[in-house]
């Protein structure tokens, strides 16, 4: 570790020595696009973390998972080796099931699944993203079910840039993007083609490797028939095929993380249709309506196959005055999973209202509530059908006070909930397919309770032309946190009776001079189990497994004329293995460490770029239990490419 720290210090010293210029670039307060209520980083009554298109482009991340893991406070890890649907952890819900406690939305459309599959972010090309907004400890009024830790809002481009891009790297990695955008005063037409593939990094005894490919195609039309009316329509097709390797014992992992005892092969495709309209009655009143339908197929080659049919609809009436805003909305979702043995359905229907009031120049209040009905139906091809329904409420109250033109403080109280996914109602058996343990439904488990959370957050923001500082303290008190119990041959989905989480979050970006900036994103998180009767108190007072106490990302960026370079460092401290609820496994989750370096150069309409990930060749892995380790970003990788704008 000392050697690596020294390397970072040397690079920093060399760059700092070039501090010969006065400040020209300036930081600014960013508007929050995804909220129905008008707000920005400084006036928001909740904790925010926002990344612009420029920051996303400069990172040269290979995909959205890479960007979130290396640039934000979010912890990302491949799901049992599956790099296309990775696990997400925000605010200490654990790398095991944390993804079910955060809502991910794309232009307002939530992409959370009705079963235990993580959100599919690989269908969103990074080059098509305009902004990423992370709302922490809030969002349950607008997004409802699952927004316990918060919401990750992804906003794509209004009009695409025109460019073609290609890259190549080690392990026969290659990819390309064609982006087209046309507009006049009444019409925007976008088209995007995106492809990536790799020969893989892990290999079995027969020289088979974990190869994969990912293809995304999108066409979008935005039409303005009148000054006050906007109509939207889009069609997206994504298909992926991948082989991902199984777990290794600790001895195997330490001797050669590139090896594999077998592979799981999966095929996945998605057809998405989006329709929407916004009508402005005048400058103060507007309607917004959106409809989405997604048809998906997930097939484990040689094993199981499931089809998914998702339909969602939301509508809102928005009132925006000089000193207050009000939104009245409805939000519905209807999802089916269809397999050879059953059809399972989950339906969400909700109404919500949210408002903010600017009491004075410096003081703003916000409040909102949501009422949601969640219904389940299980219809097997043989046997009795099952069903149940839940009625749940979400609340949010916040206040923001401006201390000066550049600084403010806020406080927020949020009530949220997470209903079980359709897999949680069944106990499960596990089958080893090609070296990977695959979960299969075996018997009805019972309609377990939804999780309910009380979130408390206070924070401070100071945004100046050369420095952006955000600090927040949070505490979350949970009832019936959902988890999978698997001890001594007994296995079922159930609830942790009482648990809590608290922590400190710090973000700071400082423009040292016109060429150089530094940023830090740090979170300290404690997640505790207070009371769990399943093991007669054996879990009481234990740490929730899979939660790192210390999470850190550092960035040092340098620009000289057309040259841009960023040195990044990501660190997650050690934790208990994902299944270690009693905190007594022999093996713990080791600390995650990765140093990345990217360089790009612009010349007229051409940009050339290169990136090295895990510069110091660190060994990284995801520990599920003793001798069940999935290597993650465990070797040095690199790629280079060219982008032509026209």
Lowest mean pLDDT among 13-27, 384-398, 465-479: 13-27
User: What's the pLDDT score for residue 219?
Assistant: 97
Of 177, 25, 50, nearest to 607 (Cα)?
A: 177
Query: Given this model, what pLDDT does residue 157 score?
Result: 87
Distance CA 268, CA 301 (A): 10
Percent of the chain residues topping a pLDDT of 70: 93
Q: Is 9 exposed, middle or buried (0-12, 13-18, 19+ CB in 10 A)?
A: exposed
Give the model's pLDDT for residue 428: 60
130-189 pLDDT tens trace? 999 999 999 999 999 999 999 999 999 889 999 999 999 999 999 999 999 999 999 999
pLDDT score at 10: 35
| The pLDDT of residue 222 | 97
Model confidence at 80: pLDDT above 70: yes
262 — pLDDT class (breaks 50, 70, 90): confident
Whole-number pLDDT of residue 392:
97
Instruction: Output the pLDDT for position 489.
Output: 62
What does pTM read for this prediction? 0.92
Collapse the DSSP code of 121 into the 3-class scheme (helix H, G, I; strand E, B; otherwise coil) and give the result.
helix
Contact between residue 493 and residue 480 where contact means Cβ atoms under 8 Å apart: no
Rounded to whole angstroms, the Cα distance separating 143 from 152 reads 11
Backbone angles phi, psi at 196, to 5 degrees: -150, 150
What span, in angstroms and rounded, lies between the C-alpha atoms of 353 and 382? 43
Which among 191, 196, 58, 52 has a CA at the least distance from the CA of 607?
A: 58
Asked which of 55-69, 368-382, 476-490 is least confident by mean pLDDT, the reply is 476-490
Please tell me the predicted confidence (pLDDT) of residue 2: 39
- DSSP type of residue 54: H
* Mean pLDDT to the nearest integer, 259-277: 94
* 21: Cβ contacts below 8 Å, ≥ 6 apart: 513, 514, 515
How many angstroms separate the CA atoms of 92 and 175, rounded? 34
Arithmetic mean of pLDDT, 302-312:
92
| Residue 37 backbone phi and psi in degrees, to 5 | -95, 140
Per-domain boundaries in the chain: 31-645
For residue 68, report the phi and psi dihedrals to the nearest 5 degrees. Answer: -60, -40
The confidence band for 18, taking pLDDT boundaries of 50, 70 and 90, is: very low
Question: What does the pLDDT average to over 217-246?
Answer: 96
3-state secondary structure of 69: helix
Q: Is the pLDDT of residue 83 over 70?
A: yes
Give me the mean pLDDT over the 464-473 stretch: 97
Question: Hunting for tokens 């939530």 — which residue is that?
Answer: 110
What pLDDT is stored for residue 140 in this prediction?
Answer: 97
| pLDDT tens sequence across 509-538 | 999 999 999 999 999 999 999 999 877 889
Give the residue-averaged pLDDT of 604-608: 95
pLDDT tens readout for residues 351-360: 999 999 999 9
Task: Indicate if the pLDDT at residue 74 is higher than 90.
Answer: yes
Categorize the per-residue pLDDT at 442 as very low, low, confident or very high, splitting at 50, 70 and 90.
Answer: low
> What is the CATH code of the structural domain delimited by 31-645?
2.40.170.20
Q: For residue 1, is pLDDT > 80?
A: no
pLDDT exceeding 90 applies to what percent of the chain? 81
Residues 542-564 pLDDT 10s: 999 999 999 999 999 999 999 99
C-alpha 172: how far from its chain's center? 27
Least confident of 111-115, 120-124, 485-489: 485-489
- Collapsing DSSP states into helix, strand and coil, what is residue 424? helix
Q: For residue 489, what are the contacts with CB-CB under 8 A and spacing of at least 6?
A: none
């Amino acid at each position: 570790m000392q050697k690596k720290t020294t390397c970072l210090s040397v690079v920093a010293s060399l760059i700092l020595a070039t501090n010969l210029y006065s400040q020209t670039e300036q930081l600014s307060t960013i508007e929050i696009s995804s909220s129905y209520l008008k707000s920005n980083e400084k006036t928001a009554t909740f904790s925010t973390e926002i990344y612009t298109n420029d920051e996303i482009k400069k990172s040269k991340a290979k995909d959205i998972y890479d960007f979130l893991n290396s640039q934000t406070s979010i912890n990302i890890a491949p799901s049992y080796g599956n790099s296309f649907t990775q696990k997400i952890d925000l605010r200490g819900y654990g790398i095991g099931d944390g993804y079910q406690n955060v809502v991910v939305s794309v232009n307002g459309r939530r992409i959370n699944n009705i079963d235990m599959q993580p959100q599919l972010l690989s269908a969103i090309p990074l080059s098509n993203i305009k902004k990423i907004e992370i709302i922490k400890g809030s969002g349950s009024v607008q997004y409802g079910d699952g927004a316990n830790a918060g919401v990750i809002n992804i906003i794509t481009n209004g009009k695409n840039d025109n460019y073609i891009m290609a890259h190549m790297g080690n392990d026969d990695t290659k990819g390309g993007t064609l982006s087209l955008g046309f507009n006049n005063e009444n019409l925007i037409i976008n088209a995007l083609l995106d492809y990536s593939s790799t020969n893989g990094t892990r290999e079995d005894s027969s020289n088979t490797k974990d190869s994969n490919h990912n293809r995304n195609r999108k066409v979008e039309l935005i039409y303005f028939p009148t000054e006050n009316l906007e109509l939207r329509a889009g069609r997206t097709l994504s298909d992926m095929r991948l082989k991902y390797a199984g777990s290794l014992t600790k001895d195997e992992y330490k001797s050669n993380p590139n090896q594999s005892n077998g592979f799981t092969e999966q095929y996945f495709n998605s057809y998405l249709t989006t329709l929407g309209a916004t009508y402005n009655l005048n400058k103060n009143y507007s309607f917004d309506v959106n409809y989405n339908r997604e048809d998906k197929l997930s097939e484990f080659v040689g094993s199981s196959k499931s089809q998914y049919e998702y339909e969602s609809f939301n509508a809102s009436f928005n009132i925006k005055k000089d000193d207050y805003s009000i939104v009245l909305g409805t939000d519905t979702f209807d999802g089916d999973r269809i397999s050879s043995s059953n059809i399972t359905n989950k339906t969400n229907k909700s109404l919500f209202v949210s408002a903010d009031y600017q009491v004075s120049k410096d003081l703003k209040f916000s409040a909102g509530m949501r009422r949601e009905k969640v219904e389940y139906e299980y219809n097997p091809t043989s046997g009795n059908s099952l069903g149940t329904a839940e009625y749940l409420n979400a609340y949010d109250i916040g206040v923001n006070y401006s201390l000066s033109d550049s600084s403010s403080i806020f406080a927020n109280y949020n009530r949220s909930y997470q209903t079980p996914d359709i897999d949680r109602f069944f106990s499960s058996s596990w089958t080893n397919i090609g070296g990977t343990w695959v979960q299969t439904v075996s018997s009805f488990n019972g309609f377990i309770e939804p999780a309910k959370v009380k979130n408390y957050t206070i924070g401070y923001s100071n945004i100046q032309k050369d420095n952006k500082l955000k600090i927040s303290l949070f505490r979350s008190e949970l009832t019936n946190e959902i988890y999978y119990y698997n001890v001594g041959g007994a296995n079922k989905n159930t609830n942790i009776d009482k648990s809590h989480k608290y922590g400190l979050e710090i973000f700071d970006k400082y423009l040292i001079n016109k060429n150089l900036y530094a940023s830090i994103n740090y979170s300290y998180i404690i997640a505790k189990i207070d009371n769990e009767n399943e093991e007669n108190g054996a879990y009481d007072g234990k740490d929730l497994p899979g939660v790192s106490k210390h999470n850190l990302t550092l960035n040092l960026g340098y620009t000289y004329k057309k040259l841009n370079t960023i040195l990044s460092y990501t660190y997650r401290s050690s934790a208990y293995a994902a299944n270690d609820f009693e905190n007594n496994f022999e093996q713990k989750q080791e600390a995650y460490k990765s140093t990345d370096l990217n360089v790009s150069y612009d010349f007229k309409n051409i940009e050339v770029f290169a990136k090295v990930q895990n510069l110091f060749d660190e060994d990284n892995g995801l520990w599920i239990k003793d001798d069940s380790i999935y290597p993650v970003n465990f070797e040095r990788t690199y790629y280079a490419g060219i982008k032509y704008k026209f």
